[in-house]
Amino acid sequence: MSAVAFRGVAKRFGEIEALAPLDLDIASGEFVSLLGPSGSGKTTLLNICAGYVEPTAGSLIVAGRDITALPARRRNIGMVFQNYALFPHLDVFENVAYGLRVRKVTDVELRRRVAEALRTVQLDGFGKRAVRSLSGGQQQRVALARAMVIEPDILLMDEPLGALDKQLRKEVQIEIRRMHVARPRTTLYVTHDQEEALVMSDRIAVMRAGRVVQLGTAQQLYSRPADSFVARFLGESNLVGGRVAGLRERCATLAVEGFAAPIEGEAAQGLRMADRACALIRPENIRPLAGGYQARIVERIFLGEIVALRLALPSGIELWSRLFSSDAPAGDQVEIGWDRERVSILPEAS
């Protein structure tokens, strides 16, 4: 049985369809990220789970119980917001203890659980500190401790790292993942940042226009995206457009204008002959190959151990390559190729 199950959940705001009817199951202790651009419906889905928004249709099942009509205050849910939502007049201890006091937990139990929560987020000894004296990363940890201390059925996080700088975001990502591995909690995490989703999630639901386009592990989504939208949104992509010229079992060939031969690759589900489609060739799959495609180096970017090359083919198509070493300067002519076993032929996102 799923810890959390959305069944036909939909939401309209007047004439606007924020969520099309969708089903989504989250296992006990699983960390699932809702990943998508602004307006994709991810925060609406999170707010339905929290009880802040009532669905237009469908039901929400938590631990086998239908809580669709249950008020937010009666749901045992921990929430972490982007702006932390800490009480500035309370110290760290009282901020973390707030939910326990509302639930009338005994003083002995309250102190034990707050101390444990602060240890978990590595803020042991910070209880008497004023929250305004803390760094952004420390304040986010206080917010996380406050959400976890009530031992929620579900932990919800809405863009919680959005206010942090890039380096601090990376550090807190790793910290959240460490805490989840040490003590798994059923978690639903909203982000538009692909790196956050890749680093922290057990599974990722990629959303677009109120729909879950694809659900899977980071490896599944990166290796076998459902369509061009998922490919673009999850990792660096070279997408070459054309038409499906051949289908055989799990293989497809794509006819591309300006290419002498069609591009071959693994066929995504739902492809049909003559469909508009695209070949996904990851930058790390493009390499020097004698007798391969002629290309000119338009741009060379040094990235430490990696060199990124922007390559222009005679047809005008441009591709990015990421190599561990290359001394070739911009303007040089090179011959390139790729492993067709690592190429995917995908439907164009509608």
Q: DSSP for 76-139?
A: -EEEE-TT----TTSBHHHHHHHHHHHTT--HHHHHHHHHHHHHHTT-TT-TTSBGGGS-HHHH
Q: Reply yes or no on whether the pLDDT at 15 is more than 80.
A: yes
Task: Tell me what pLDDT residue 260 has.
Answer: 78
**How many helices (H) does the chain have, and how many strands (E)?**
8, 19
- Looking at residues 292-298, what average pLDDT do you find? 94
Give the percent of the chain with pLDDT over 90. Answer: 80
Task: Tell me what pLDDT residue 327 has.
Answer: 81
Task: Tell me what pLDDT residue 286 has.
Answer: 95
37-80: pLDDT as tens digits: 999 999 999 999 999 999 999 999 999 999 999 999 999 999 99
CA distance 233 to 222: 10
Q: Reply yes or no on whether the pLDDT at 328 is more than 90.
A: no
Residue 177 and residue 33 in contact, taking contact as beta carbons nearer than 8 Å:
no
Q: How confident is the model at residue 339 (pLDDT cuts 50, 70, 90)?
A: very high
User: Quick one: which of 164, 203, 291, 259 has its CA closest to 26?
Assistant: 203
CA distance 123 to 145: 9
Task: Tell me what pLDDT residue 161 has.
Answer: 86
Q: How confident is the model at residue 246 (pLDDT cuts 50, 70, 90)?
A: very high
Q: Reply yes or no on whether the pLDDT at 325 is more than 80.
A: no
The torsion angles phi and psi of 277, rounded to 5 degrees, stand at -155, 180
User: Quick one: which of 295, 283, 281, 246 has its CA closest to 267?
Assistant: 246
Q: Reply yes or no on whether the pLDDT at 29 is more than 90.
A: yes
CATH level 2 (architecture), domain 4-225? 3-Layer(aba) Sandwich (3.40)
Q: Reply yes or no on whether the pLDDT at 324 is more than 80.
A: no
CA distance 128 to 50: 30
CATH code linked to domain 229-347: 2.40.50
Q: How confident is the model at residue 175 (pLDDT cuts 50, 70, 90)?
A: confident
Task: Tell me what pLDDT residue 155 has.
Answer: 95
Task: Tell me what pLDDT residue 249 has.
Answer: 87
pTM (two decimals): 0.89
Q: Reply yes or no on whether the pLDDT at 1 is more than 80.
A: no
Strands laid side by side in the 31-35 sheet: 77-80, 154-158, 187-191, 31-35, 203-208, 211-216
| Structure tokens given for 5 | 């199950």
Q: Reply yes or no on whether the pLDDT at 10 is more than 90.
A: yes
- Looking at residues 319-347, what average pLDDT do you find? 91
190's CB contacts (< 8 A; 6+ apart) are 33, 34, 42, 43, 46, 157, 158, 159
Q: Reply yes or no on whether the pLDDT at 326 is more than 80.
A: no
Distances (CA, A) of 340 to 72, 279, 343: 51, 10, 5
Q: Reply yes or no on whether the pLDDT at 258 is more than 90.
A: no
Boundaries of every domain in the chain: 4-225, 229-347
Strand, coil or helix: 233 = helix
Q: Reply yes or no on whether the pLDDT at 200 is more than 90.
A: yes
CA distance 253 to 245: 5
Report, in this order, helix, strand and coil percent for the chain, each rounded to 5: 25, 35, 35
Q: How confident is the model at residue 163 (pLDDT cuts 50, 70, 90)?
A: confident
Task: Tell me what pLDDT residue 172 has.
Answer: 84
Task: Tell me what pLDDT residue 158 has.
Answer: 93
CA distance 296 to 308: 13
